Chains A and B, each alone.
Chain A
């Protein structure tokens, strides 16, 4: 079996060589960049908004137990059921049990990354159900049998033509390049399904502790239909989604929209606080909230990196990341792509198995600079590299690093190595591509620099002598 790392290396290499696909990604992200800068410029002080949001999240995450208790008791007092799932299997089991107990036959979903995280669709299909994704992008990739490419823009890698071909093949529709028409095709399918579905599955963007309610942000209106038409609503919510007060949304809804999609505010923002009440004509009869841990408390225990739980999943760090822009989303091979994914995945799914994600970064810091809740993303990648070494150092790398430290701590040896390098470096070109190439990773695409005939320290010694 190939390891996550081998698969990552193979996939990222293949994608980064595809300049046409890169240009397509770049043109999509260019539109985002312009829209985002325009919205950021409308803030009196975007920096203050980031600081305020970071402070609110800091307070929420550092009092998480208290907030989760308040959230749960308030929400349950209005008739919803809250289930704490310590891992993915328990979350799936609970959801399947709700479905079984209600003898439900049709499941419709609105966009939820926590559902991807626990691989809910596979589990539903295993029990003979056919869950349908109602978010347009998610629906497209579901038809293709793919995972989301980007956790905010799941189908950003596909052109209109590809979507049209897909619809033609799977739904028998006529080819069209028109976005509106493509949307209408999906909409016609969805409208039928909303009426027959007995279960609607969603995520949540925020869980508000003060009032015991979830807040869902979307652009298509599909989440509203998913949460109101089916008899049962199940929301899968990461425990880090907590916001203390309902007024905190005044910061977070505009920030999420600006940073995530370059909008002033997303089209639909809905606060859901329980199932249908006795005096209400519609809404779900049952509302279940699955609070998902699945590794999050492990991250919470890490004081140095716990600010990664501030994440509001806006995806801004992916959009600015030169690695994401060159390797695309599928190469990561995990639920959460990009810088935030590379930080949280080793915590959630295992440091040794996923430490390569922490190394697959030039540490440029563009992610940290853009994060609306100021997560210290690229420094966490460095800390993860350290943690991986402390936990299980590789023998060859340890020898290399001990050698490095010895070399650098002995200037005579450093100077001697420089002299050897000076002698050897003209021949290095001959070694390129052979077994004797000392740095094949460098020379496969780049010429190696030459060691200078006189080092700086030699020049400096001469220079000082000349002055005397």
Chain B
């Protein structure tokens, strides 16, 4: 299978560990992973700001470059939702519509790819700690990814998953929302962190680094005794 990896811009520059973990996991499972150096971003920041024309400028390159991939794996529910749910809308009635629809069908969030496409849950990972899991909203409600990360975490030796209250409630990141309405975003993040801390788990794990960037930013500012980790980092640990 020709697996292409789509690494979101902020993972590339801020959290490369996440992408590296994804490559390691897929290679351990015996797959070749192709990363296209020409791709940088799915275009979501412009899309969510209402600039669909500029989004298309970025997205058409993604659609064209990934035309031949059998599967595109994205370690982010948010960018995955952009490509699967919003690209077809973005190109509706335009020449690239068919390609965008085809890409949508071949695009998978990382945990859903492992569980639903490869049929794997046990990656031989071990991680000696309690963790709580935060569902990124785009993964949860646009892509219906909920059981897959939990199935994967369940098979991690030494890991104890403790669900927090209101796990399906947004953490308050929301892209540009976080800087346009910082106090609302922060209030939402504080609520999320209070729920996470009530589990007493030392780690918040999520399949979206963007949520974690926001939560870690709050944690660091407030000096809270809890850390964030991407699901792939946990699954790659031995």
For this complex, into which size category does the number of interface residues on chain A fall? Answer: 35 or more
The answer on a CB contact under 8 Å between B16 and A459 is yes
Does A55 reach chain B (CB closer than 8 Å)?
no
A-B contact pairs, 30 of them (CB 8 A): A16-B186, A322-B172, A359-B181, A363-B137, A363-B138, A366-B169, A382-B50, A389-B50, A389-B51, A401-B54, A405-B58, A411-B37, A411-B38, A411-B40, A414-B9, A418-B12, A441-B178, A442-B178, A444-B182, A445-B186, A445-B217, A446-B186, A446-B221, A449-B216, A450-B14, A452-B15, A456-B11, A456-B20, A457-B37, A463-B20
Does A175 reach chain B (CB closer than 8 Å)?
no
Task: Please pick, from B49, B55, B221, the residue contacting A447 in the complex, using a CB distance under 8 A.
Answer: B221
With A326-B184, A366-B141, A408-B40 known to touch, is A441 a contact of B16 (CB < 8 Å)? no
A408 to B12 alpha-carbon distance, docked (Å): 12
Interface residues of B in 1-46 (CB under 8 A from A): 7, 9-20, 23, 35, 37-41, 43, 45-46
A439 to B213 alpha-carbon distance, docked (Å): 14
Task: Please pick, from A17, A362, A388, A445, the residue contacting B173 in the complex, using a CB distance under 8 A.
Answer: A362
The answer on a CB contact under 8 Å between A17 and B187 is yes
The 3 A-B pairs of least Cβ separation, nearest first, read A362-B174, A446-B217, A441-B179
Contacts of A421 in B (CB 8 A): 13
The answer on a CB contact under 8 Å between B137 and A385 is no
With A404-B45, A408-B41, A447-B217 known to touch, is A17 a contact of B183 (CB < 8 Å)? yes
Does B94 reach chain A (CB closer than 8 Å)?
no
- Using CB atoms and an 8 Å cutoff, list the residues of chain B in contact with chain A: 7, 9-20, 23, 35, 37-41, 43, 45-52, 54-55, 57-58, 61, 86, 137-138, 140-142, 168-170, 172-189, 191, 213-214, 216-218, 220-221
Does A305 reach chain B (CB closer than 8 Å)?
no
A369 to B138 alpha-carbon distance, docked (Å): 12
Contacts of A418 in B (CB 8 A): 12-13
Identity of the chain B residue whose Cβ is nearest the Cβ of A327 in the assembled complex: B184
Does A360 reach chain B (CB closer than 8 Å)?
yes
Identity of the chain B residue whose Cβ is nearest the Cβ of A441 in the assembled complex: B179
18 more contacts with CB within 8 A, not counting A454-B16, A455-B12, are: A12-B181, A16-B184, A360-B181, A362-B185, A363-B138, A363-B175, A386-B50, A390-B50, A408-B58, A409-B57, A409-B61, A439-B179, A441-B178, A446-B218, A447-B217, A452-B13, A456-B18, A460-B19
A16 to B177 alpha-carbon distance, docked (Å): 15
The answer on a CB contact under 8 Å between B14 and A452 is yes
Does A270 reach chain B (CB closer than 8 Å)?
no
Interface residues of A in 29-85 (CB under 8 A from B): none
A387 to B52 alpha-carbon distance, docked (Å): 10
Identity of the chain A residue whose Cβ is nearest the Cβ of B60 in the assembled complex: A409
The answer on a CB contact under 8 Å between A442 and B182 is yes
Contacts of A444 in B (CB 8 A): 182
